[in-house]
Structure 1
Amino acid sequence: MLSFVHRGFCRVISNNSPNISRIMSYVAEERGRPNTLDYRIYYKNSEGQYISPLHDIPWLVSESPRVYNMVCEVPRWTNSKMEIATKESLNPIKQDVKKGKLRYVANCFPHRGYIWNYGAIPQTWENPGHKDKNTGQCGDNDPIDVCEIGSKICKRGEVIQVKVVGVLAMIDEGETDWKVIGINVNDEDAPKINSIGDVEKMKPGYLDATREWFKIYKIPDGKPANCFAFNGDYKDREFAEETIAETHRFWVESHSGTLKCDFAMENICCSDSKFKIDGKAATKILEAAPALDEAEEVTDEKAEKWYYTSLLQGQL
C-alpha cells in the first residue's frame, strides 16, 4: 500500500454550488506488479470503502477561494504514461497501453519525462459529443488535465489541492485537449502566483517550455507536431475556471443520464448518480485484482534515451 494519506472532502452531486459536507481522507492501494500490464492503484476513503478517484473524489474543495482537487497520475521527471482508467470499474490508475505494450513518454531534449506533476481534476469530462465554440473541436473523452507547476515532486496517485491560473488549448489529433495550469496551494510560491503573468515572472521560460513539450512529445512516435487554439497563447484564470466548470457539468449530466458516457460509472459517494453501488460491490471489484508484487525492470529505451526532436525535425 502506498504510504501517503490525503485529507479531502466528500460532497453530493449538484448542478448548483458544491455542497461540501464533511472531511474525508483517501488512501491509495497498489495492486499487481509495477511496470507491468496488471499494475493498478485503487483508492479507499476514511470509512474503509473502496472508491473511484474519478467519481467519488470531488472536483472542488472550496468555492471561495476556488481550489480544486487534482489526482496526480504522473510525478515530475518520470516517463510512465499513467492515467485514470476511465473504462475500468472503480477507475484505478494504470499505465496506458498501445499494441499490447506499456507506453512511455519520450525524453525530447532538453526535457526529461514530464516537466510538471501531471494529473486530472476528478468529476470532469471533456465531452466528445460537444464541439467547443472556441476551438471548433470536440472533447477528448477524458477528465480535464492539469500541469501542476509547484516545486514538490508528487507521489504517483497522490491527491493534492491546486489553485488554477490559466489553461492551454491543445488540439490533439482533431480533439480539444485542455491543459490546465495550476499550483499546489501548499507550495511556497502559491501566494505569489495568481495568474499566467505571475507564472512567467516567478518561473521564466516554464510556459514556453510547456507549450514546446506538448508540441513535440509525440514526434518520436512518428506522429506530427501537435497544434493549439488561440495561436498557442495561454488563456487566463477566469477562462480556465469556466472551462473546468463546463467539463464538470458534462460529468454531472452523464451521471444523471442526460448525456451518454462510455466511462465505467460505478461510484460510492454520488447520491444522485444512477450508477451508485454499495461498499460490498466495490470491495468485490478490487478483490478480483492481483495482489501487490515486486516491480518489473523497465526495459523500454524511451524511458532513458534522448530524442533531439526539435533540432532534427525542425518542428518548432
Structure 2
Amino acid sequence: MKYLSLLFSMVAFISCKESSKMPAKETIDYYHLPTFVNDTLQAVIEIPAGTNKKIEYNREQNDFLVDSIKGVPRSIHFLPYIGNYGFIPSTYSNPEEGGDGDALDILVLAESQPMGTLMKVIPIAVLRLQDNGAFDDKIIAVPAQKELQIIPVNNFENISIQYPEIRKIISLWFQNYDKKDDLHIIAFNGEDTAMEIINKWTKH
C-alpha cells in the first residue's frame, strides 16, 4: 500500500507540473480584427439570431456582456433578433461626422451562430436609421460561405425581386424592437451604398 500511495503521489505531482506548463487560452481582440480579409468583409456576431438579450462586446474587458441600464439586464420586448447581429471590426462611426460613436452594426441573415463567431460575409444592403439625430446604419449581409446561406441572394436586386417581404420584415422589426420616438428609417439602400458606408467608417 505504501508503494501504491507513493506512486499516486508522484503521478499527481507530475500532472500538476505538466498542467502548469499549458499555455493560457488566447483571447481575441475582436474590435481590432481586420475589416476585410482578402477583400471579403468580416462580421463579429454579438447576438445570435433568435435571441432577446441585448449583448454587446466590451472592448475594455474583451468580453461579450449582456448590456444593462441601471443594473437591469436589457432584453428586447419584441420578437427576437431576426438575424445574427453584431459589428464590423476596425470600424468607427464618428460622431463628429454624424455617426453614433460605435462600430458599424451588421445583421447577417443566416441560421443562428454562436456569440463570438467571426464570419466572412457579403454586404447586400443597408438600412439607414437615424437615432436621436445620429446615423445608426445597419449593414445587411449574407454569409460568404455557400453552405451557411439560407436564401440564394448576393445583392440588393436579388433580395428586392425574389424576397421583397424580407426587406419589409427587417424594416418593421427595427422600427419596433426598441420603442423610441426619435428613431426614424431614412432609407433602405443597396450594396453600393453599404460599401460606401463601410469604407467611410473603416479605421485605416
Q: 2:177 aligns with which of 191, 201, 217?
A: 217
**58, 62, 79: which is aligned to 2:52?**
79
Compute the displacement of 1:58 (Å). Answer: 1.2
1:216/1:226 contact within 8 Å kept: no
Say whether the 8 Å CA contact 2:126–2:190 is kept in structure 1: yes
CA contact (8 A) 1:117 1:148 kept: yes
The correspondence of residues 78-157 of structure 1 with structure 2, limited to 5 A, is: 78-86=51-59, 88-89=60-61, 91-107=62-78, 112-130=79-97, 138-150=98-110, 152-157=111-116
Q: What's the CA shift for 1:59?
A: 0.9
Deviations 1:4-54 (A, max 9, x none): xxxxxxxxxxxxxxxxxxxxxxxxxxxxxxxxxxxxxxxxxxx96423100
Using the TM superposition, give the Cα deviation of residue 180 of structure 1 relative to its aligned residue in structure 2, in angstroms.
Answer: 0.3
Would you say the 8 A contact 2:85–2:106 is kept in 1? yes
2:155 is equivalent to residue 195 of structure 1: yes
Q: What letter matches 2:185 in structure 1? A: F
After superposition, residues 242-257 of structure 1 pair within 5 angstroms as 242-248=196-202, 251-252=203-204
For 1:202 and 1:93, how far apart are their aligned partners in 2?
35
Q: Deviations over 1:129-176 (max 9, x none)?
A: 11xxxxxxx1111110111112x2111111111011111110012111
| Aligned 1:300-311 pairs, distance under 5 A | none
For the Cα contact (< 8 Å) 1:218–1:225, is it kept in 2?
A: no
Matched, 1:206 2:166: yes
Structure 1 CA distance for aligned equivalents of residues 181 and 146 of structure 2? 36
Aligned counterparts of 2:49 and 2:157: Cα–Cα separation in 1: 22
TM-score normalised according to structure 2 size: 0.81
- Segments of structure 1 that go 5 or more residues without pairing to the other structure are 1-46, 131-137, 253-316
CA distance in 2, matches of 1:126, 1:180: 13
Instruction: Give the direction of change, closer, same or farther, for the CA distance of 1:129–1:195 in structure 2 (3 Å limit).
Output: same
2:126 pairs with 1:170 = no
Asked whether 1:238 is paired with 2:192, we answer: yes
Larger helix proportion of the pair: 2
Query: Contact conserved, 2:122 with 2:144, CA < 8 A, in 1?
Result: yes
Instruction: Name the residue aligned to 2:31.
Output: 54
**Counterpart-to-counterpart distance in 1, 2:112 and 2:121:** 14
Cα distance between partner residues in 2 of 1:217 and 1:191: 23
TM-superposed deviation, 1:214: 1.0
**Residue pair 1:161, 1:185 contacting (<8 A) in 2 also:** yes
- Contact 1:73–1:156, Cα closer than 8 Å, also in 2: yes
Residue 161 of structure 1 is matched in structure 2 by: 120
Percent identity, aligned pairs only, is: 28
Q: Secondary structure at the match of 2:123?
A: strand
Residue 143 of structure 2 corresponds to 184
Structure 2 CA distance for aligned equivalents of residues 60 and 190 of structure 1: 23
C-alpha distance in 2 between matches for 1:62 and 1:227: 35
Q: CA deviation at 1:115?
A: 0.6
Local SS of the residue matching 2:51 = coil
Tell me the SS of whatever aligns to 1:183: strand
AA matched with 2:154: N
Deviation at 1:225, TM superposition (A): 6.1
> How big is the shift at 1:204?
3.7
Structure number with larger C-alpha Rg: 2
User: CA 1:225/1:128 → structure 2, altered by over 3 Å: closer, same or farther?
Assistant: closer
How many Å separate the matches in 1 of 2:94 and 2:178? Answer: 23
In the alignment, is the contact (CA less than 8 A) between 1:83 and 1:96 conserved in 2?
yes
Distance 2:38 2:178 in 1: 36
